[in-house]
Each structure stands twice: as structure tokens, then as C-alpha cells.
Amino acid sequence: MNEAERQQDDPSQIWQKADARVLGQILAAQNIVFALPDTTRIAEFYAQTLISIPGIAACRVCLGGRSVQAGEMESSFCADCETLRRSSWEDHTPLQIDSILRCNLGAQPDVRVVAIDSHRYRFGFFVIKIEQAMFGNVYQPFISNVSNHLALMLENRWQKDMLQRAHDELERKVEERTHDLTAANKELTASRLAALDLMEKALGAQQIAEQASTDLQREITERQRVEAALLESETKYRAVVENSLAGVYIIQDDLLRFVNRRWCEIFGYTYEEAVDKLNPIDLSVMEDRRTIADNLKKRLSGEAHYIEYDLRAIRKDGEVITVKILGSAMTYRGRPAVSGTMIDITERKQA
């Protein structure tokens, strides 16, 4: 066997057959998912993204209570699997990895099933129909990495949702306890003005008030613990965004409201110079400004939920670069905004 044949069979060399543009597309999809608002939009986005990979004829994304398909696939939707996933999602309780949730379509010779698993939970599947055998060796490891990233993000969202629910319940209990304490204090004040024969009743009301105060302090302590856990979860998720290989941004009211470290590296601005100061349209060349303005308008109006296009941009030092923009609409701090990722493709365009 010659050297070329040995490299062809060597698993460590298979990745060299992958198209760099396809890998960039997979990486961008992995980084943009945090901006998608719900499992339906996530399933639609990944179904369209994965079917564009060479060797994939169709893709079905089974996530939460929905199954979204792009392309033609002979196998029908699996009612039992969808019912089990919908029940789990509506109960706000992800299924354990060792649960009965399985996908039986993987037994077909032209179908690959990639489970969307975190360390503990199973959220669904990528069901992929292949038309080129090379897919399994070249791109499936990267798609598996995407499924792992998606599962971790979904688990993080679920944990934040559970913390928020606990926080809301504590708020309700604190409000009830406060009301009880106020009523008890009023009763105690009235009792002190009563005759001596009412003293026993007044003392009893005082004991109730003291007990209510103790319970209230306990509830407040628990609320502080839950808020600290929520802050830790948000800090970990922000760390993922800050370490992303793609530039991440949020635009609201024609200003950048958030950028990550990679965005600052691409454009040469510091975080303080960009956030709440720069209009993203001003960062593009004059000929492309109409394009970016129209695309922002389409996302904010709901005409296009997801947009991908190339843009010529101007760095702080005046250098003109080419970036690929991937973005969608979102709600930021209670108001409409646009978010997404960008990749510097200047060298690819110049090649």
C-alpha cells in the first residue's frame, strides 16, 4: 500500500477531505443557535443548515414536541417518539439519556441518527438521509459536535427556566408572607390599645407576627440563593459566547448593544468604543449600506426571521474586509432587536 492509500484509510486524515466552507457553515450554525428563541425555530434552522452539507439528501430535526424536515425522506414521522418528546417538553422535564426515547430509523442503510444529548439528558435527534457514503466519515463528527453544543445550550435554557420559576414562586410566597406580617402587626397595634382582658389575645398575635417574620427571613434567604445560582448560570453561558470563534453582536435602535471579543478583533474596536456608540451601518462601505439597512428592516419587521449574506466592512484602521453575516430577530431587554454572528472571509475572497 502506497502513502496515498494509507492516508485515505487513516481516520486521523479523513477530516482533510472536508470542504473548509462547509466547516465554516457548521461552525457558524453552532454559534448562532443561542439567538434562536424556541425549539421550533431551532429545528427549522438546523434542518435547512444540515441539508446544505454535501452528501446529505434530507434532514429531519426531532426536537421538543416538533419534528421539522427538509428534503424528501421515505420514512414517516414517528408518532410515539414525538408524543414522548412533547410530553417531556410540556412538563418542563428533559428525558434522561437512559430513558425509553430511541430513534428506530437508524437501522436503515442510508440513514444516520445523531442524538442531541448532553451529559444527562436527551432532547431529540438529527435524522439524516445520506446520498454519499463519504458523509459518514467526513462530516458526521462535526455534526455530532453541533448536536452536543445544542444539547448543552438547551440544558442551560431549561435550568434558567427552572430557576426563574423558582424565583417567581419565591416572589409569590414573600408577597403572601409580607401581607400576613402586615396584618399581624396591625392586629398587634390594635391589641395594645384594648383593655387588660384582651392582653392574652394581643400576646398571641405578637407570637404570630414573630413567627411570620422568621418565615419571611427564611424565604428571603432562599430567594438570594436561587438568584446567585441564576447569576452563575448566566456567567457560564456568557463565557461560551465570549470564547466563540465567530463574532457575535446584538443591534437595537440602530446601535450595537453587545459584541463579543471576536467581533472586537475583527473590527479593531474595544468593547467600550463599540457598544451603545457605533451604528453598524456606518461600519460598511457606502455601496453595501443599503443592503445592510434593508436586511435589518426585514428581520425587525418579521419579513425574514433568518438572513445570511456577505458584506464589505471597514475596520477602525480603515482596512476594508469581507465578512459573512448570519442573523435573526430576537427580544433584548424586553424590546425588538437583531442578533447574529459574523465570520471574516477576506482571505477566502482574495484567494
Give the model confidence (pLDDT) of 58-85 as tens digits: 999 988 777 888 988 877 666 656 666 6
pLDDT for residue 122 is more than 60: yes
Cα distance between residue 148 and residue 342, in whole Å: 22
Return the bridge partners of 125, or none.
62, 115
- Structure-model confidence comparison of residues 205 and 62, the more confident one: 62
121 close to 151: Cβ distance less than 8 angstroms: yes
**Cell 432562599 found at:** 222
pLDDT for residue 13 is more than 90: no
Please state the rounded mean pLDDT for residues 236-258: 85
Cα distance between residue 217 and residue 221, in whole Å: 6
pLDDT confidence bin for 27, thresholds 50/70/90 = confident
For the chain, where are the alpha helices, taking DSSP H only?
A: 3-9, 11-14, 20-32, 39-51, 79-90, 134-138, 140-192, 199-242, 261-267, 271-274, 289-301, 346-350
Cα distance between residue 319 and residue 312, in whole Å: 10
